[in-house]
Amino acid sequence: MRPAAPATIKDVARLAGCGIATASRVLNKSGPASTEMRERVERAARDLGFNFNAAGRALQSRKSMTIGCLVPSLANPVFAEAVQGVQSELLGSGYQLLISCSNYDDDADNAAITTLLENNVDGIIATMVAPNRSTALMQTKQRDIPVSLMFHDPIDGMVTAYVDNFVAAAEVARRFAAFGHTRVGFLALRFSTSDRSRNRYAGFYKQCRTSGLAQPSLIEISEEDAHHPERLAAILASYPDVTALFASNDFLAIAVQKATRHLGWQVPQDLSVVGFDGIEVGRLLETPLSTIETSPEAMGRQAAQSLLNALQGLGLKQRPPLPFSFREGETLAAPNPKRTDDDRVAAQPSSVHPAQDQNQSRTNP
Partner DNA sequence: TTGTAAGCGTTATCAA
Partner DNA sequence: TTGATAACGCTTACAA
- Which positions touch DNA (CB under 7 A)? 5, 8-10, 17-22, 24-25, 27-28, 30-34, 36-38, 51-53, 55-57, 59-62
22 binds, among a second copy, DNA, none (CB under 5 to 8 A by kind): DNA
- Tell me how far apart the alpha carbons of residues 353 and 363 are, in angstroms, rounded to a whole number: 19
9 binds, among DNA, a second copy, none (CB under 5 to 8 A by kind): DNA
Beta carbon nearer to DNA, 19 or 365? 19
Q: Which string of DSSP letters, residue by residue, matches 104-161?
A: T-HHHHHHHHHHHHHTT-SEEEE--S-GGG-HHHHHHHHTT--EEEESPPP-TT-EEE
Coil, strand or helix at 276: strand
Query: Rounded to the nearest 10 degrees, how much is the dihedral formed by the CA atoms of 295, 299, 300, 302?
Result: 130
SS3 per-residue string spanning 33-80 = CCHHHHHHHHHHHHHHCCCCCHHHHHHHHCCCCEEEEEECCCCCHHHH
SS3 content of the chain, % helix, strand, coil (to 5): 50, 15, 40
Beta carbon nearer to a second copy, 50 or 191? 50
- Tell me how far apart the alpha carbons of residues 108 and 129 are, in angstroms, rounded to a whole number: 10
- Tell me how far apart the alpha carbons of residues 65 and 52 are, in angstroms, rounded to a whole number: 12
Question: What amino acid occupies position 292?
Answer: I
Give the binding-site size for a second copy (rule: CB under 8 A): 53
Q: Which of 40, 124, 297, 305 binds a second copy (CB under 8 A)?
A: 297
Angstrom CA distances, 314 to 157, 160, 307, stand at 17, 16, 10
Instruction: Answer yes or no: are the C-beta atoms of 123 and 94 closer than 8 Å.
Output: no
Angstrom CA distances, 233 to 108, 164, 201, 207, stand at 33, 30, 22, 27
In which element (H, E) is residue 261 found? Answer: helix 250-263
Among residue numbers 117 through 146, which ones bind a second copy (CB under 8 A)?
117-120, 142-144
83 binds, among DNA, a second copy, none (CB under 5 to 8 A by kind): a second copy
Beta carbon nearer to a second copy, 162 or 251? 251
Residue 313 sits in the site that holds a second copy (CB under 8 A): no
Residue 298 beta carbon to DNA: minimum distance, rounded to whole angstroms: 34
Residue 261 sits in the site that holds a second copy (CB under 8 A): yes
Residue 227 beta carbon to a second copy: minimum distance, rounded to whole angstroms: 9
135 binds, among a second copy, DNA, none (CB under 5 to 8 A by kind): none
Residue 309 sits in the site that holds a second copy (CB under 8 A): no
Residue 4 sits in the site that holds a second copy (CB under 8 A): yes
- Tell me how far apart the alpha carbons of residues 223 and 194 are, in angstroms, rounded to a whole number: 14
Residue 312 sits in the site that holds a second copy (CB under 8 A): no
Q: Which of these segments, 30-38, 116-124, 127-135, 199-207, binds a second copy (CB under 8 A)?
A: 116-124
Residue 219 sits in the site that holds a second copy (CB under 8 A): no
Residue 80 beta carbon to a second copy: minimum distance, rounded to whole angstroms: 4
- Tell me how far apart the alpha carbons of residues 306 and 300 are, in angstroms, rounded to a whole number: 10
Residue 343 beta carbon to a second copy: minimum distance, rounded to whole angstroms: 21
115 binds, among a second copy, DNA, none (CB under 5 to 8 A by kind): a second copy
The footprint of a second copy (CB under 8 A) covers 2-4, 6, 51-56, 58-59, 64, 66, 73-75, 77, 80-81, 83-84, 87-88, 96-101, 103, 114-115, 117-120, 142-144, 251, 254-255, 257-258, 261, 281, 283-287, 297
